[in-house]
Amino acid sequence: MGCLFCQIVEGEIPSEQVYEDATCLAFRDIRPQAPSHVLVIPKQHLDSLWDLEDPELAGQLLSAAAHVARQEKLERGWRLIANTRSEGGQEVDHLHLHVLGGRPLGSMLPSAGV
Ligand code: AMP
Ligand code: ZN
């Protein structure tokens, strides 16, 4: 209860969905950091990647992220980010993967902007 992304899964909060399957949902980030910025989440609530112990679900999430990258036509390159827990920069406590692309992303260090 009270989880923003669970509310998105339930359709209680609107989102721009780009992909859905039995276990995962993907929707556009409301504050995009790149031309393509999509969040891929498990429909089932997990607080973060710290709590992901099911290898099947891990594979489904990764597979969904790759599907989104192809759907977004990110053949030039893209990045997957999982901010995890407070010192990892996580703001929403429902596991999510950021799919970012559509511009040169440069260094992988946070000081470079992503
Ligand atoms: P993180 O820092 O990894 O927890 O990122 C959370 C992300 O969720 C941020 O990039 C936000 O812009 C994004 N976000 C927050 N609320 C929403 C929402 N209602 N719909 C889509 N994205 C959201
Ligand atoms: Zn949740």
- Cα Rg for the chain, rounded, in angstroms? 13
Beta bridge partners of 98: 39, 81
Q: What CATH number is attached to the domain comprising 86?
A: 3.30.428.10
- What pLDDT shows up at residue 107? 78
Instruction: Supply the pTM of this predicted model.
Output: 0.95
Which residues does a 6 A CB cutoff place in the pocket of ligand 1? 4, 13, 15, 27, 29-31, 39, 83, 89-92
Cross-sheet strand order for the sheet of 78-81: 17-20, 24-28, 36-42, 97-101, 78-81
Domain assignment present for 54: yes
Whether residue 62 is contained in a domain is answered as: yes
What pLDDT sits at residue 72? 98
Distance between Cα 12 and ligand 2 center (Å): 12
- For this structure, is 96 an active site residue? yes
Q: What SS3 state is found at 27?
A: strand
Q: What is the pLDDT of residue 78?
A: 98
Considering its fold, how many domains does the chain have in total? 1
Mutate to test the pocket of ligand 1, among 10, 36, 39 (most ligand atoms within 8 A of CB): 39
Classify residue 106: in a domain, yes or no: no
pLDDT at 82: 98
- In terms of residues, how long is the chain? 114
- Whether 108 is covered by a domain: the verdict is no
Q: Does residue 47 lie within any of the structural domains? A: yes
- Domain membership of residue 113 (yes or no) is no
Kindly give the confidence (pLDDT) of every residue in the chain, 114 residues in length, as a single tens digit, with 9 standing for 90 and above. 599 999 999 999 999 999 999 999 999 999 999 999 999 999 999 999 999 999 999 999 999 999 999 999 999 999 999 999 999 999 999 999 999 999 999 876 666 555
Minimum CA distance residue for ligand 1 atom 5: 91
Q: What is the pLDDT of residues 35-58, one digit of tens each?
A: 999 999 999 999 999 999 999 999
Whether 107 is covered by a domain: the verdict is no
Which residues form the domain of 82? 4-101
- Is 114 within the bounds of a domain? no
